[in-house]
Every structure is written in structure tokens, then in C-alpha cells.
Amino acid sequence: MRFDDKVVLVTGGSRGIGREIARAFAARGAIVALHYHRNLDAAQATETLLAGAGHMLVQADIGDPAAIKRMVDAVVGRLGRLDILINNAGIYEERPLTESSYDEWVDYFPRIARVNLYGAANAIYCAAQAMMRQGGGRIVNISSRGAFRGEPKAPAYGASKAGLNSLGQSLAQLLAPHNIFIGAVAPGFVETDMAADLLAQPAGDDIRRQSPLNRVAKPEEVAHVALFLASEGAEFTTGAIVDVNGASYLRS
């Protein structure tokens, strides 16, 4: 797969899955707009890993609708177009109902949804405007196994990712006539720096045993599926949600 001169915006691109997706697109000829929120140092470090030239960093709080519009406008203004949006930015927080006060519970859900669902929806809206003007584009949402199997300790996270799946499928139907195609990747546990501490604990062995491969996913395995969904020739997968969990959770 090649993405020569395609402009790709990767939200949450400075670390983990986002970093590997950005690297994968750049290695295949794309020009990457690398989004970050607060960690400029990590974003700059990731930018140095990108093959090719012409990439840019773009800062935004994905929980702020106005910031999202400024982000997309900045990418299109500098790079001239937006061919692919990778909705990767997200937040995870554990807040079991059984251990939460009502005030904590009421605060928790909108705070997680503001980024994981509303922020992704707003990014899609802004990106789709540019894509419709230029004749088409690709959108890939990074979802989660938790959208299907449940997240008992982090219910807002699971609910936000389930909502993201439904949103993507609804818009895949609406936007296909505009030559805009939408897919999703639903990973299980992934070997990133954010998961490193947990995977190094005794519980890490239990997590790895969830898969018959006795390991968790590598970031590049998630990136590989994102590349496919964004590629020419994958149009008829629009609306699809691809599991990348090593058969640790199988859904019918």
C-alpha cells in the first residue's frame, strides 16, 4: 500500500498506537499532520521518526469543539487538503459504579465522552467538510474491544467506544455517496508505554493468556489494519469494525 502525497491527520499521534500509525503512513509516502494535546516534547520526538518531509505538528484539545475546527483548518490551510483522518485520541479512566459517589459518577461520563465520542464526532464533521469539497476521503476510528465485551471498571470508556462504533456506521451510510469511507479498528490490549506498567505486573500474564497467542497486540499490528481501511481498494469495507485482539474476545 502506498499513500504518496496523501495528507493524513492522526489525532493523539505523539505516543503509542497513534505514533505507530503516523510512522506507518509516513513510511508509505504520506504527509502526516501529527496532533498532540499537551506533550509537545513527545510530538516533536515522534515527528523526528517520520520518513519523508513536509509533516506538521498541530495542537488541540479534542474535548474543545472550537479547537478541533482550528486544528482541521490549520491542516488544510498549510497542506492544502485532508485525505485521511485517523481518530485515535482518547482517554481512559477507571470509575466503577460500586466505588463512586453520585457526584463523581455524574462528572465521569460527560468528561470521557467529551473526548472519545463528541471530540471524534466533531473531528469527523470538520474533516468531512474538507473531504466533500475535494471529492472524497477516508476516516478510520480507533475503537476498542471494550465496546463489545464491556468495561466494568471503566464503563464510560466502553460506552464511548460503543457510541463511536455506531457513529461511524451511521456516517458510513450517509457519506458513501460523497466518496468518503469510514472504518474502525477495535484493539484489545496493546503493547504501548501506557500499558507497560500493567503488563509488567503479575496481572500481565493473565492478560496475555486471554489470547491463544499468549501475548498482546503490537502497535504496528493495529497500524496495519488502519492502513488497509484507509487504502484505495478498501471502499467496500466502509462501515466495518475490524477486531485486533488476538481472538481474546470473539463476537458473532
Which residues does the annotation mark as catalytic? 157
Beta bridge partners of 142: 185
Beta bridge partners of 179: none
CA distances from 208 to 195, 223, 226 (A): 12, 20, 23
Other C-beta atoms lying within 10 Å of the C-beta of residue 171: 20
Q: Which three cell numbers stand for residue 239?
A: 462501515
Q: Which three cell numbers stand for residue 60?
A: 488541540
Other C-beta atoms lying within 10 Å of the C-beta of residue 116: 28
Cβ contact 82:9 at 8 Å? yes
Q: Please, what is the angle between helix 120-134 and helix 65-79, to 10°?
A: 30
